[in-house]
Amino acid sequence: MEVTFVCLGNICRSPMAELIFKDMVEREGLSSRFNITSYGTSDWEEGNPIYPPAAKTLAEHGIHGTHIARQLSLRDVINNDYILVMDSQNLMDVLRLTGGKFGQKIFKLCSFTSNPRDIADPWYTRDFEGAYWDIVDGCRSFLNYLLRRV
């Protein structure tokens, strides 16, 4: 199962989601079943590491890892089974990239939760802890969705 998380810059929300989801599937003993990555819709942060306040929030919750920001391409959409975006703007940007195609595998991460919502961008809100818990809720709900399907 190829799963990729997508946000705007690929230095805050989507690398947080990548590392949180990797940790979750590892705890479930399912790591060998997944290839988990992340991308940004923009090239603004290309080559940059995880934004330090995002990495600090992850570390406070015992989640460690690195990522280098990169921009999503059409090939990445084609090669993944699930493209999980953080907000409505990301969804529109990915659908613009695909010319409206592949909509059946592009979802807002929190659409799998009991409270579908956007994950606010902590780059602007500065609420990294809030983003962390929204992402945990989304990842847990997405994994439960997958487990119900197999």
**Site residues (vs ligand 4NP, CB under 6 A):** 7-13, 44-45, 121, 123
Residue 110 falls in the annotated catalytic set: no
How is residue 86 written in tokens? Answer: 């953080």
Toward ligand 4NP, which CB reaches closer, 123 or 142? 123
How is residue 7 written in tokens? Answer: 């946000």
CB of 13 to ligand 4NP, least distance (A): 3
Toward ligand 4NP, which CB reaches closer, 9 or 138? 9
CA separation for the pair 27, 6 (Å, rounded) = 23
Helices within the chain (DSSP H only): 13-27, 52-60, 74-79, 88-98, 122-125, 128-149
- In the set 7, 12, 110, 139, the catalytic residue is 7
Residue 13 falls in the annotated catalytic set: yes
Catalytic residues: 7, 13, 121
